[in-house]
Chain A
Amino acid sequence: MTELPHLKDVFDRLRRGHHLSPEDEPLFSAVAARHEDYAAWFRQLGITLVRHPRDFFYFDPEGGEGEREALSRIAVFAFILVDHAANEGRPVEEYVFGQHFLLPRLPHLGLDRYVGLLRQVDVEDMAGLRQVVRNLERFGFAKVVGEDEFRFQRPFHRFLDKCLEVAQAPAPASGPGVGEARAEDAG
Chain B
Amino acid sequence: MRIPPQSFFRFCEVHVPLLRRLASAGGEVSEADVRRMIRDTQGEDAELPETTWRRLGELHILVPTEPGSDLHFLAEPVRRLVDYLFDAAQAATPEIVRGYIQSMEASGRQLARAIEQDELTLLRLAIDDIQKVLIRVQADLDETHRCILNEVSRYKTERRTVSVRDKFRRIVHWMERYVEPMTDIVRPDGPLRSVFDETGRLLIRARDHGLYTDLPTLERSLRLLRIVQRHALRVFQQCRRELQPLYESLRRSSFLAEGAAKALEALQRDGAGGWAEAHAVRAFQQRWQHVPSDAAITRALRNVAETTVEPPPVLGLGEPEAPPADYQRRVWLEALPGEAGASVPIDDLLGWIVRRNPGCTTADALAGFTRLVFDTSFVAGFDGGEPRVHETADGSLESCPVQLSLP
Question: With contacts A121-B272, A171-B262 known, is A162 near B249, CB below 8 A?
Answer: no
- A163 near B259: Cβ-Cβ < 8 Å: yes
Chain A residues within 8 Å of chain B by Cβ, number? 64
Question: With contacts A86-B164, A89-B164, A120-B267 known, is A15 near B256, CB below 8 A?
Answer: no
Q: Which of A157-187 contact B (CB under 8 A)?
A: 158-160, 162-169, 171, 176-181, 183, 185-187
Nearest-CB distance from A86 to chain B (Å)?
3
- A162 near B255: Cβ-Cβ < 8 Å: no
A-B CB pair tally, cutoff 8 Å? 181
Q: Provide the bound-state CA to CA distance between A83 and B254, in Å.
A: 10
- A68 near B169: Cβ-Cβ < 8 Å: no
- A74 near B280: Cβ-Cβ < 8 Å: yes
- A92 near B275: Cβ-Cβ < 8 Å: no
- A86 near B165: Cβ-Cβ < 8 Å: yes
Q: Provide the bound-state CA to CA distance between A185 and B251, in Å.
A: 9
Whether a CB of chain A sits under 8 angstroms from the CB of B309 is no
Question: With contacts A75-B279, A163-B263, A166-B262 known, is A86 near B254, CB below 8 A?
Answer: yes
- A68 near B253: Cβ-Cβ < 8 Å: no
Q: Provide the bound-state CA to CA distance between A47 and B125, in Å.
A: 81
A residues near B, CB below 8 A? 14-17, 19, 47, 58-61, 63-68, 71-72, 74-76, 78-80, 82-83, 85-94, 113, 116-117, 120-121, 139, 158-160, 162-169, 171, 176-181, 183, 185-187
Interface residues on B, range: 35 or more
Whether a CB of chain A sits under 8 angstroms from the CB of B276 is yes
Question: With contacts A72-B272, A92-B164, A180-B172 known, is A167 near B258, CB below 8 A?
Answer: yes
- A93 near B253: Cβ-Cβ < 8 Å: yes
B268 contact from A63, A67, A117, A164, Cβ within 8 A: A117
- B258 near A183: Cβ-Cβ < 8 Å: yes
A89 contact from B161, B261, B271, B282, Cβ within 8 A: B161
Nearest-CB distance from A107 to chain B (Å)?
12
Question: With contacts A71-B282, A93-B252 known, is A83 near B261, CB below 8 A?
Answer: yes
Q: Which of B136-170 contact A (CB under 8 A)?
A: 158, 161-169
Q: Provide the bound-state CA to CA distance between A58 and B260, in Å.
A: 23
- B280 near A68: Cβ-Cβ < 8 Å: yes
